[in-house]
Amino acid sequence: MRFARLSSCLRSALTVGAALSALFVAPSALAQAPTAASAAVVAAPAGSGPGLWVVQDEDSTLYLFGTIHALKPETPWGTARMDQAFASADEYWFEVADLDDQAGVIALMQTKGVSPDRPLSSLLTAEEVADLDAAARSIGASAAKLDSLRPWLASLQLALASINKAGYVANNGGDQVLHARAAATGKPIKGFETAIQQFGFIADMPEDTQLAMLRSGLKEFDQADVMLNRMVTAWSTGDVDGLDVLIGQEAKTESPELYDAIFTRRNETWADQIQTLLAGAGTAFISVGAGHLAGADSLQSKLAQRGITATRITD
C-alpha cells in the first residue's frame, strides 16, 4: 500500500489533532500553526466543494459531511450548502467529541504503544532500520529514538510527520474547524467514539499487519505529499469516486485488516447510532472523515442496508 494511502487511512481513523500535535510536532511548528477557531476557510468555486448528504424522516434531518483531518490553509472547501446545513443543526456529531483528550491518549500509548523488551529494530532487517533512521532524521528524530515503539505507533508517527512535512496542518482540518464552530454555538457536541477507542483500532491489530504498515511507509515516505494533494483535490471538488480510489480501494485489497478496522467495522457501528438518532427528532450535523463516505463500504451504504436513504445535496 502506498504510504500516502496509509497516511490517509490512519488520519481517517485518528482525529485527535491537538493531542497528536502535542506528542509528535515540534513546539516551533505548534507556535506557527493557527488555532482551529481562527482558521479561515477558503470558499470553493461555484458548483464545487466537498460532498454533503442528508437523511430525513418526518421529524428528523441529519446531514452527513466528510472532512479531511489536516489541510493546507489555502485549500478551498467552504460552501453555502454546508454553512446552511451547519447553522440549522440542533446538535453536532463528530467521530470524537473531545479532541483534546491528551491524558487518555498518552495513557494508551504507554500501555499499548511501547515495547522496550521487544525493540523495533529486532523486528526489522538492517536495511529497514537504515530506512527508518533516514525517515526519522528527516523529521528530527532517529531510529534509536523510535526503537521502543511498537510498529503501529512508529507508523503513525511517520504518517503524521509526513503530513506536517507536506504543509498540512491539523488545526486547518475540517473536523477541527467545524468542532470549533460548533463549540462557539453553545449547542451540544457528541461523538461516535472516544479517542482511546480510535487508537485502539490500530493498536490492537496483529503485529504482522503493523509491520506491513511500517514497511510500506518506509518505502514511500518521501512521496506522501503527491498522494495527499490528489486526495485533497478529490475531496474538495466533491469527487467521491476518486476519493474512494485514493483512500479505500487499494487499502481494501492490500491490507484488508487495516481497512476493516478503520472503515468497515466503524461504519457499521456508526450506522447503528445514526439509526437510533433518526428515531428521535430534530436536526443534527454529522462530520466524519471523508473516506467513510466513499466506496462500497461507506456509511451511506451501511445506512442503506438498514433501509435508510442518504441523498446527496447539490447546488
- Domain-embedded: residue 239: yes
Domain that holds residue 144: 3-26+49-312
The amino acid present at 297, given as its one-letter code, is D
Residue with cell 490517509: 8
The radius of gyration computed from the CA coordinates of the chain, to the nearest angstrom, equals 19
Q: Is 28 in contact with 15 (CB distance < 8 Å)?
A: no
- Domain-embedded: residue 32: no
Summarize the chain as % helix, strand, coil (round to 5).
55, 15, 30
Residue with cell 486526495: 231
Task: Write out the chain's pLDDT in tens, 315 residues.
Answer: 444 444 445 544 444 333 333 333 333 333 344 455 556 799 999 989 999 999 999 999 999 999 998 899 999 999 999 999 999 999 999 999 987 777 888 888 889 999 989 999 999 999 999 999 999 998 888 999 999 999 999 988 888 888 888 888 888 999 999 999 999 999 999 999 988 888 888 899 899 989 988 988 888 788 778 888 999 999 999 999 999 988 877 777 777 888 888 899 999 999 999 999 999 999 999 999 999 999 999 999 999 999 999 999 987
**pLDDT attached to residue 162:** 83
Work out the angle between the directed axes of helices 17-24 and 102-112 (0-180°, nearest 10): 60
- Domain-embedded: residue 43: no
Nearest Cα to Cα of residue 148 among 109, 114, 107: 114
- Domain-embedded: residue 21: yes
What is the number of domains present in the chain? 1
The amino acid present at 10, given as its one-letter code, is L
- Domain-embedded: residue 35: no
Q: Is 4 in contact with 226 (CB distance < 8 Å)?
A: yes
- Domain-embedded: residue 288: yes
Residue with cell 446531514: 63
- Domain-embedded: residue 31: no
Q: Is 305 in contact with 311 (CB distance < 8 Å)?
A: no
**pLDDT attached to residue 22:** 33
C-alpha cell at position 286: 454529522
The Cα angle at residue 183 between residues 179 and 187, in degrees rounded to 5? 115
**pLDDT attached to residue 241:** 94
Rounded CA-CA distance 290/217 in Å is 21
Strand 52-56 vs strand 60-67: parallel, antiparallel, or unpaired?
A: antiparallel
- Domain-embedded: residue 94: yes
Q: Is 213 in contact with 258 (CB distance < 8 Å)?
A: yes
**pLDDT attached to residue 38:** 52
Task: Output the pTM of the full model.
Answer: 0.87
